[in-house]
Structure 1
Amino acid sequence: MTACLRANPKCRDWEQHEIEPKACRHYHTGLENRPMESTHQTLEFLAERAQYIAGATGAAIALSEGQNVVCRAQSGPTAPPVGVSLQTNSSITAECLRTGEILHCRSVETDERVDVESCREMGIESILLLPLRRFGRVAGVFELFSTQPYAFYDPHIDALRRLGQMAEKALQGSLRWYERRDAGRALSLARVKKKRRFPRYDMGVPLIVKTLSSGVPESIPGRSKNLGEGGLAAVVAAELPLKEVVVVEFSLPLMRQTLYLRAAVRTQDRLFHGLEFLTPRLEEKNFTA
């Protein structure tokens, strides 16, 4: 089914649409093709989660609208406001849209592709950009910002790529988190309210969740929300099935050891997961790889 028919089932201009989508009178930028509120909510949610997982100070999703590229979702103090048009003449955003490649500005002070003065005004020192595609064409950009130079590494690129794929699905109408009515999820969230055997402590620690659910080993980046002897809650750049057994890799502050703990997914709400450790208590498993 073409993008045109998704926009208007009565459209019969599909042959022309395949040649040049914008020539079709039913062509839209994408957000009009589906419930606006749910799409915007999903994009805002993904921007917020991307900022948290990467430890960034800002995240933004901007979409092409005619000759302009407009910010449609944002999170954090260094992200542009929603509704603002971004520079598309000579900027790193323009290059990302033109090349359709992931771009990484490790330091604005040494990268000729950025407007140094604008970045200094916002306090931005490093930027990570991912092009977003809709029906095979570059239609926007997903950006992360940090007030620290050299802030982003391979796990952050992987996380942004995974969340970018979700954003593309939302733009094409195949990801509608805010239209779901899942009783099973509601029951799983209700369990969180029960008193735990071990206390949890608020702690945002970068982590990697290793899984074999697809038959191929995957390492999925994330960041914890809280942590205790019995388990942790984390935002992960994927939706993990309930009851799946994974290995969580992380390091605690002021510790040199890397922990590798088996855990089971006990609760799941989109990208938020509750994991229960299946190994002995934390202090008994602080071994190195």
Structure 2
Amino acid sequence: MLSTSSVSTSLLTKQQLLCVITAQTEIIGNRFAPTRVMERMAELAADLTFASGAVVEVIEEDEMVYAAATGMARDKVGMRLKASTSLSGLCVQKNQVLNCTDARNDNRVDSVACEKVGLRSMLVVPLHADGHLLGVLKVFSSKTDAFDDVDVQILQLAATIIGAAVASSGTV
């Protein structure tokens, strides 16, 4: 259930909220497996933030693993990144939303790797289930400074849905 304390309807449009609610209803009605929920939420996050793609990364030991991906990263499911050298790993370490407005000028990211895949900006939010930190939900763009506060809210809603699905499946 959405509350006005967690979502400012003045920031999210009614159309964006309707998309989130529709996806949530679809997931609940079909009782999707957590992997399918991750895929659906990555698609929704990319669409609603006008991103070039989105990724759900899960923590496995000292690595971040692409569990679901869409857009430019669609063929990267299973890819592993060192948590210690990735923005996603830093998001997990700090347990906070991180916004990279320009990968060429941000020392928290591997600018050479970002250049190779055409990424200029990223927004990363922590992903929790039943009080456990599981990973992150990340959107990225080929444009600089592509994401704003509304995009943060969208990702947080999508991350909450993923967390609830994982928790209800008992895989935490």
TM-score by length of 1: 0.46
Runs of 4 or more, structure 1, over 4 Å off, are: none
- Alignment size in residue pairs: 138
Q: Quote the RMSD (CA, aligned, Å).
A: 1.5
> 1:142 matched to which residue of 2?
137
Distance 1:137 1:173 in 2: 13
1:166 correspondence with 2:161: yes
Asked whether the equivalents of residues 78 and 145 of structure 1 are also in contact (C-alpha less than 8 Å), the reply is no
Aligned to 1:126: 121
Q: How does 1:220-231 map to 2 (within 5 A)?
A: none
More helix by share: 2
Cα distance change of structure 1 residues 107 and 79 upon mapping to structure 2, 3 Å threshold = farther
The answer to whether the aligner puts 1:90 opposite 2:90 as a matched pair is no
Give CA-to-partner distance per residue, 1:251-286, whole Å, 9 cap, x none. Answer: xxxxxxxxxxxxxxxxxxxxxxxxxxxxxxxxxxxx
Are 1:102 and 2:97 matched, yes or no? yes
Shift of 1:118: 0.2
- Between Structure 1 and Structure 2, the one with more strand by share is 1
Comparing both chains, which one has the higher relative contact order based on Cα–Cα distances under 8 Å and sequence gaps of 6 or more? 2
Gaps of 5+ in 1: 1-36, 175-289
CA offset digits 1:64-93 (Å, max 9, x no partner): 123332111111014671111122122211
Q: Which has the larger radius of gyration?
A: 1
* Residues 35 and 68 in structure 2, CA contact (< 8 A), matched pair in contact too: yes
Alignment match, 2:63: 68
Q: Secondary structure at the match of 2:155?
A: helix
Matched letter for residue 113 of structure 1:
R
TM-score by structure 2 length?
0.76
Matched letter for residue 167 of structure 2: Q
| Identical aligned residues as a percent | 28
Q: What is the deviation of 1:133? A: 1.3
Q: Is the 8 A contact 1:87 1:93 kept in 2?
A: no
Q: Distance in 2 between matches of 1:69 and 1:139?
A: 10
1:42 and 2:30 aligned: no
Alpha-carbon contact 2:62-2:82 (below 8 Å) kept = no
CA spacing shift, 1:78–1:104, aligned 2, 3 Å: same
